[in-house]
Structure 1
Amino acid sequence: MPTSYQSPMRGDKKSEAKTTSQSTETNTVKEVATVAKVLEVKGGSVYTIGPDDTIKTAVTLLKDRRIGALVVTTEDGALVGILSERDIVRKLAETPGQTLPQKVSDNMTHDVETCSPDDNLIEVSRRMTKGTFRHMPVMEDGKLCGMITIGDVVNYRLTELEHEALQLKQMIVG
């Protein structure tokens, strides 16, 4: 039969274990969130396409992979652009019925904003918001090592906030 909890009495032996009080600082101090932290959770998979491929090929890849953008690279892996759903929709509006056979290189964004794994996540988020784009290739030592999206940033931050709320709740409850 299980025993019930009984609070300590005056004559009980004191525990030799040392306890430390919790504080706001010990419960909320955390390291700065970086792009690398997001990639640890998400992984470094990046879907690429060549500049000479067609928009039809790109659309198929986007649909099959359930993603919103493709990084455009040369055969040797050099970053030359990015093609997003938004780029394709704009081109469809400009050239209805003639878009799918066009080359990726004629429709991609050429000036691609990139980040590195060490970049601060808040700063990357601000850059994406200011530039009104949702996908950013991650480069390390001149090589593509991942892709971060605004959704990744939001999900990471929501998880952080849930964790912080739980820590504060534990601090309050004890």
Structure 2
Amino acid sequence: MPESYRPHLRKDDSQNRTATQSIETNTTEQHAFVRDVLAEKDGTLHTIRPEQTLHEAVVLLRDHRIGALLVTDVDDLLVGILSERDIVRKLADAPGKTLPHKVDDVMTRTVETCKGEDPLVTVLTRMTKGRFRHMPVVEGPKLIGLVTIGDVVQFRLNQLEFEALQIKQLIVG
């Protein structure tokens, strides 16, 4: 082989190469926010009034295949939340006589809420520590959404699938 021959090396392409990732993009922590989860939902809020019965609530929960109803007053302001767990507790206290009770008698009045700009990880931590699965999202006094543990898990799974696809494309080229 002649002494002047040199094989093509990777460094020969260094000036033509571009990168979609850098040290900064790989080490910068990106946070998801509650508003990101809400953006992927259809925006439907399932509500009930305090004066309605548990029978009406159970029908709504069944028909919409959900685990909680937001309890609102005539001005659509949040006054409580009624979950399956609240109903089960009442069933244990008044077996066979539960459904005629008013939502007002059974609902949780002290409701943990969050805002759209709250980081998802802090909301998930609050839900886990408080042992509840539904958290209303408010903007001032106005109710704008509801996030659930299921919503958060689905959102994160979608993020992981996207990240895996990006890594695959990076490897394959």
Answer whether TM exceeds 0.5 for this pair: yes
Query: Does the 8 A contact of 1:27 with 1:167 survive in 2?
Result: no
Within a 5 Å distance, the mapping from 1:95-174 to structure 2 comes to: 95-174=94-173
In structure 2, the residue matched to 1:75 is 74
In structure 2, what is the Cα distance between the partners aligned to 1:19 and 1:118?
Answer: 38
In structure 2, the residue matched to 1:85 is 84
Match of 2:19 among 13, 18, 21: 21
The answer to which structure, 1 or 2, has the higher relative contact order (CA under 8 A, 6+ apart) is 1
Show structure 2 runs of 5+ residues with no match: 1-7, 9-15
Deviation string for 1:57-90 (max 9, x for gaps)?
1001111111110000101111110000111011
Deviation string for 1:8-48 (max 9, x for gaps)?
xx9xxxxxxx6412436547867421110111111321111
Q: 1:58 to 1:91 in 2, by over 3 A?
A: same
TM-score, normalisation: structure 1 = 0.84
Fraction of identical pairs, as percent: 59
In structure 2, what is the Cα distance between the partners aligned to 1:30 and 1:143?
Answer: 31
In structure 2, the residue matched to 1:6 is none
2:90 maps to 1:58: no
Query: Does the 8 A contact of 1:23 with 1:171 survive in 2?
Result: no
RMSD of aligned alpha carbons: 1.8
In structure 2, what is the Cα distance between the partners aligned to 1:118 and 1:22?
Answer: 28
AA aligned to 1:23 is Q
SS of the residue corresponding to residue 139 of structure 1 reads strand
Show structure 1 runs of 5+ residues with no match: 1-9, 11-17
Q: How many residues align?
A: 158
